[in-house]
Amino acid sequence: MGSNSSRIGDLPKNEYLKKLSGTESVSENDPFWNQLLSFSFPAPTSSTELKLLEEATISVCRSLVVNNPRTGNLGALIKVFLSRTKELKLSAECQNHIFIWQTHNALFIICCLLKAFICEMSEEELQLHFTYEEKAPGSYSSDSEDLLEELLCCLMQLITDIPLLDITYEISVEAVSTMVVFLSCQLFHKEVLRQSISHKYLMRGRCLPYTSKLVKTLLYNFIRQEKPPPPGAQVLPQQSEGGGLLYGLASGVATGLWTVFTLGGVGSKAAASPELASPLANQSLLLLLVLANLTDAADAPNPYRQAIMSFKNTQDSSPFPSSIPHTFQINFNSLYTALCEQQTSDQATLLLYTLLHQNSNVRTYMLARTDMENLVLPILEILYHVEERNSHHVYMALIILLILTEDDGFNRSIHEVILKNITWYSERVLTEISLGSLLILVVIRTIQYNMTRTRDKYLHTNCLAALANMSAQFRSLHQYAAQRIISLFSLLSKKHNKVLEQATQSLRGSLSSNDVPLPDYAQDLNVIEEVIRMMLEIINSCLTNSLHHNPNLVYALLYKRDLFEQFRTHPSFQDIMQNIDLVITFFSSRLLQAGAELSVERVLEIIKQGAVALPKDRLKNNRTRKVPVLSTHFTDVNTRHITSEGQSQDWNPGGLTPELLLTTASHDTPI
């Protein structure tokens, strides 16, 4: 590095890096730093090139690890950066390109070294490296122990206070990325960190007052989606699209970090990385998610999570409760628009889930919107393209639907929104359909995909829970949606019969061979029957609460009425079959009275007339049964379900909600 442009292959031999990592101490006032920081660097464009960068600099980093206790050069570099940041705001106002460029380069080197140090040593050793000064080997001064805290505070100030201009865009991205790298210590620990240096500095002390301002800035960075400046307008030499070198370095760290912190780590295929229009928005979002999912300290809650849970709309003039710290206001309309537009990335979907689940102000605002289709349609697209998404993204999208369908107003309003020409739905041309019917179609398709591919019973149950939440408010179901509900029941019925037949044959075979262990068909039957019962309860809830609004469902029910015969006398379904059997019998009788050779239009007309004539008190309202929620996160799952607020409640068809899963472990029990 230095005044000339550097290449990755030249880094191990670079004289300036050798001096930085060598045995000679360099004073923070030495002209060497101006020479070291006057470099340009071609940005790697692939993970292979990023790996080459790490391999090329590993000798430099290891040399610095060995020599830094004697030289204190890491501390000197950080002090050079800190001294420059004090003039950064003025330099931005004065358009001092060279000064900002060199300050950016200093931060770039610090971040690269920080990443290498974190990979190689414990947190205690890392913290010690920030205390070494130019003294005898291994000595340090107590008055410099807060250099790391000073660096973090400086980064927070840089992110929140430096105006975002063309010449400051890159250094803003690097500041956010450096904080992400700093928080990557969790990646190298199997246990959850509760007493890490991140807790020590970020959750108390000098960094704490910046909490709300930092969260607000990161949110606005995500909202604004500022693109990198065009070539020639930025302070650094032209970078490849998608961000600079350090952005690529930290982006991989950040993606792994929020996955580990919030979704349980590995186990699903990686999501494809889309072309990033705004590296600053993407990195800000990743940092925000990592901060929000830090564990609480032993003696204090996570202040960043508190800020995310409590911020309000700028139009909300009510006073802030004194008991809630770190709160602020933000434009909810802009936030809503950004969330609707960015759901192609799983990190944006995680932010949406986090806000809906934890911030009641955001949830209330979104549920009151009259354009909910702008938010729901991208979520449905995620579920529709389930085979192209990783399991984390699919689960988060499904959980968002569960949160939304807890609200009866949402369940009613989605049937009033009429959509035209849904081009991404390829199974059938949908020229006109309600948002509610489309939601039903996509969720049922997800269930059927799961039955043939992943065979995850928890995904089944959560999908059915969303339908159950909606069932009492089904209105004017599209004929195709009604058909798919009955078709799903038909598929489950066939699977039930197949497993029952296998169990019978296995039992007969066991009479002649006592040594062969029997497959656990009883467990399979129990799972399938539980899902069948949920389907019957969904149908029953719709018939009980909105029969006259859904002639297409009654039509589909009558057309496939033979499916329900075997369940009329089944001891597990007799109670829930009473209403369905009554509806089938009542409308079948009216159709017989009308004669043969009836057209579809005439049948629907008879159904509509019959729905008015059928006394409502003849349908029993079965709302007391408790439905098991099959999730690894539940206790006593056979008798209770858990709401999104963590409260155990009796099940009712209009309010079933499983615990909002934060991990998506692989499950062994198929369905």
**Mean pLDDT of all residues in 288-297:** 90
**Mean pLDDT of all residues in 273-277:** 60
Q: What is the pLDDT of residue 325?
A: 85
Question: Which of the residue ranges 1-15, 278-292, 530-544, 590-604 would you say has the lowest mean pLDDT?
Answer: 1-15
| Residue 273 pLDDT greater than 50, yes or no | no
The pLDDT tens digits of the residues spanning 354-397 come to 999 999 999 999 999 999 999 999 999 999 998 888 888 998 99
With pLDDT > 90 as the criterion, what percentage of the chain qualifies? 47
Question: Which residues lie below 8 Å from residue 459, measured CB to CB, with a gap of 6+?
Answer: 394, 395, 398, 446, 447, 450
This model's pTM is above 0.85: no
The pLDDT tens digits of the residues spanning 89-134 come to 888 888 888 899 999 999 989 998 998 888 888 888 888 888 877 6
The pLDDT tens digits of the residues spanning 490-506 come to 999 998 888 888 878 87
Which comes out higher in pLDDT, residue 185 or 486? 486
Q: What is the pLDDT of residue 409?
A: 94
Distance between CA 611 and CA 387 in Å, rounded?
40
Q: What is the pLDDT of residue 639?
A: 26
Q: What is the pLDDT of residue 624?
A: 36
Q: What is the pLDDT of residue 419?
A: 95
With pLDDT > 70 as the criterion, what percentage of the chain qualifies? 80
| Residue 640 pLDDT greater than 60, yes or no | no
Q: What is the pLDDT of residue 582?
A: 92
| Residue 227 pLDDT greater than 80, yes or no | yes
Q: How many CB atoms lie within 10 A of CB 16?
A: 19
Phi–psi pair at 226, nearest 5 degrees: -65, 130
Distance between CA 339 and CA 345 in Å, rounded?
10
Distance between CA 422 and CA 384 in Å, rounded?
12
Q: Contact, 610 vs 587, CB < 8 A?
A: yes
**C-alpha closest to that of 287 among 334, 327, 247, 325:** 247
Q: How many CB atoms lie within 10 A of CB 268?
A: 18
Which comes out higher in pLDDT, residue 637 or 545? 545
Distance between CA 351 and CA 221 in Å, rounded?
13
Question: Which residues lie below 8 Å from residue 222, measured CB to CB, with a gap of 6+?
Answer: 281, 284, 285, 288, 338, 342, 348, 351
392 DSSP assignment: H
Q: What is the pLDDT of residue 159?
A: 96
Q: How confident is the model at residue 9 (pLDDT cuts 50, 70, 90)?
A: confident
Letter for the amino acid at 376?
A: V
Q: How confident is the model at residue 54 (pLDDT cuts 50, 70, 90)?
A: confident
- Residue by residue, DSSP assigns 102-117 as HHHHHHHHHHHHHHHH
Q: What is the pLDDT of residue 266?
A: 33
**Mean pLDDT of all residues in 30-48:** 78
Which comes out higher in pLDDT, residue 657 or 91? 91
| Residue 261 pLDDT greater than 50, yes or no | no
Q: How confident is the model at residue 667 (pLDDT cuts 50, 70, 90)?
A: very low
Q: How confident is the model at residue 598 (pLDDT cuts 50, 70, 90)?
A: confident
Question: Which residues lie below 8 Å from residue 46, measured CB to CB, with a gap of 6+?
Answer: none
The pLDDT tens digits of the residues spanning 438-460 come to 999 999 999 988 888 777 777 88
Strands (E) in 422-555, as ranges, are 432-434
Distance between CA 491 and CA 504 in Å, rounded?
20
Q: What is the pLDDT of residue 125?
A: 87
The pLDDT tens digits of the residues spanning 599-619 come to 899 999 999 999 898 887 788
Measured between alpha carbons, how far apart are the two ends of the chain, in Å? 59
Distance between CA 601 and CA 59 in Å, rounded?
79
Most confident of 1-5, 236-240, 504-508: 504-508
Whole-number average pLDDT of the chain? 81
